[in-house]
Chain A
Amino acid sequence: MSSEITHDAAHDEHDHHGPAKGLMRWVTTTNHKDIGTLYLWLSFIMLLYGGSMAMIIRLELFQPGLQWVEPHFFNQMTTMHGLVMVFGAIMPAFVGLANWLVPMMIGAPDMALPRLNNWSFWLLPFAFGILASTTFMESGAPAFGWTFYAPLSTTYAPDSTDFFIFAVHLMGISSVMGSINIIATILNMRAPGMTLMKMPLFVWTWLITAYLLIAVMPVLAGAVTMMLTDRHFGTSFFDAAGGGDPVMFQHIFWFFGHPEVYIMILPAFGIISAIIPTFARKPLFGYSSMVYATASIAILSFMVWAHHMFTVGMPVAGELYFMYATILISIPTGVKVFNWVTTMWKGSMTFETPMLWALGFIVMFTIGGFSGLMLGVAPVDTQYHDTYFVVAHFHYVLVTGALYSIIAAFYYWVPKWTGHMYNETLGKIHFWWSTIAVNVLFFPQHFLGLAGMPRRIPDYSLQFAEFNMISSIGGFAFGLAQVFFLYIVIKTIRGGEKATDRVWEGATGLEFEQLPSPPPYHSFTEAPPVR
C-alpha cells in the first residue's frame, strides 16, 4: 500500500494533477471517478423526482374515489414515474458504479474513451430535462404508460410525444456509447495478469450487460423512430388502417423490454457477489458457474419477450414456447441464489449495513422471482395480467432487487470513494426503516392483484380500500426513508470516521488491496500487480 502512495507523490511533478476547480471541472471532466459521481448524483435526483410522482400516485390511491388529481394527470404520473425510474434512476446508477469501479477493479487508469464518457453523461441531463418539460406543455406529458403501446403512442398521442421520442433517442445514444466504452475498457485495458476469469463478478456482469444494451437499445431507438414516422411522415408501421399492425409494436417493444429488465438486474448480481463474500469472510462459492449463469440468463432473455403478451392472442404453440422458455430462466437464476447462500454457509458472518442490504436483496429479490415464475405460467397469467400482481412482481425485483443492490453498493464502496465511513447506526436505521416500509408498500399489492384490481387506474371499487390504504402508508414511509438516505449521503461525503485502505476486514480486489481510501484522482497510471 505504502508503495502506491509514494509512487503517486513521485509523479506529482509532471502531468499528474488533481481536478480542475469550480463548476467547469464537472462540465469538462474526462475522469472516470468524476463522471461516476455525476452519474450517481443524476440518478439520486431522478430517484427523488420519480419518487415524488409515486407519492402522488399513492396519495390518489389512498382512498377509493377521485380526491387529488384528474384521471388524465394520474396517467401522466404513472407513465413518467416508470420512465424516470427505469431510464433515469436505475440505469444511470449502474453506469455510475461502473465508471467508478470497473477501471479500479481491472487495474486500468481510466475508461478506454474518456471524452466519449463525458459526452455519454452530459446527454442525459438534456434528455431528462426535455422529458420532464412535457409535464408543463399544453397537451400534458405522455400518458400512455412506460411501455408506450401503439396506437396510444401514435394515433392518439399528445403533441408532447415528439419530445418524449427525442428524449429516448438521446438516452439511447448515451447508453450505446457508454456500453461500447465499458466493453472497450474491459476487453482492452486490463492490467497484465488480469485474465477474464480473474475479473470480479461486477466487471463480468457489466460486460454482459453492455452486450445486452448494444443489442436492444437500437431496437428501442428503431421503435420510437417508427412511431415518429407513423406520426408525421405517412408510414403505417403500427397503423392497421394503413396495412400496419399495432401488435407488432408490442413484439418490438418487448424484444427490447425484457432484456432491459435484465440490464437492470445483472449488475446487481455482480454487486451482491462482491458483498456477500466480504462479510461471510469466504471466497464466493462457484465463481465460474456465476459467470456461465449470467451469460445464460443474458442469452435466454432474448427468447422470452412474449411472456408480456400472453393475453394478446398468440397461437397455442407460441404460448407454450414462451411459457417454457420463461420458466427455464429460473434455473440459472436459482444457481445464483444457491451460490450466495452456499457462500454464507459456515462463514464467519457479520452484519454491517452493506451486508444487511445485500441480504435484503437475496430474500426479497427471490420473492419477486417467484411471482415472476407464477406470471410466466401462461394460463394463470390470463388472470394476473395487467393487475396489481404484476405491479407487486416488478417492484419486488426492481426496488428490493435493483435499488437495494445500488444502496448496498453505496454503503460498501463509499468509504473507498470518500475516505469516510458512513455512520453505522444511521445506515442500519435506513435499512430497517426501508425494509419494513417497502413490504408494507408492495406485499399487499399481491393480494389486490389476485383479487382483480387492475393496474394504471386512479379509482377502484370499494373492496380494495383497506389494502390500498396500507400500501399508501408504506409508500409514504418508504419515500421518507430515501430522503433520510440523502441526509446520510451528504453527511458521509462531508466527513466521518476515517476509513482504512482495506475498509472491510474481508474485502478483496484491486480497489481495496492496491489503492488508498480515497484513491488518488489518477489511480493505476502504472499497472498494478495482479495475483
Chain B
Amino acid sequence: MQQEQHEQDYFTSAERRKRTWRIVIAHLLIVATFFVATFLWGNFE
C-alpha cells in the first residue's frame, strides 16, 4: 500500500524512471562515439 503510493510519487513514477534510462543510454552512446572517434583520429595519416 505504502509502496504503491510511493510509486505514484512525482519523482519516482515508472514513466520517469524509463525516461531516466533513456537519457542514460543516449548519453552513453555519445561517450562511446567520442571514444571510438579518438582512435580514428589517432590513426589518421
Contacts and interface: CB of A to CB of B under 8 A. Distances in A.
Interface in B18-42: 19-20, 23-24, 27-28, 30-32, 34-39, 41-42
B31 to A, nearest CB: 5
Interface stretch (A181-189, A267-275, A283-291, A465-473): A181-189
Nearest to B28: A180
A251 B44 CA distance: 12
A112 to B, nearest CB: 5
A4 to B, nearest CB: 16
A218 B41 CA distance: 13
B28 A222 contact: no
B23 A183 contact: yes
Contacts of A219: 34-35, 37-38
Task: Say what secondary structure dominates the interface of chain A.
Answer: helix
A157 interface: no
Contacts of B37: 219, 222
Contacts of B45: 243
Given A176-B31, A218-B35, A188 B42 contact: no
Given A112-B20, A189-B11, A237-B42, A222 B30 contact: no
A109 B11 contact: yes
B38 A215 contact: no
A180 B24 contact: yes
A191 B11 CA distance: 8
B28 to A, nearest CB: 7
Interface in A11-28: 14-15
A515 interface: no
Contacts of A15: 2
7 contacts: A180-B31, A183-B23, A183-B27, A184-B24, A222-B35, A222-B42, A223-B38
Interface of A: 14-15, 108-109, 112-113, 176, 179-180, 183-184, 187-189, 191-192, 214-219, 221-223, 225-226, 237-238, 243, 248, 251-252, 525-527
Interface of B: 2, 9-11, 16, 19-20, 23-24, 27-28, 30-32, 34-39, 41-45
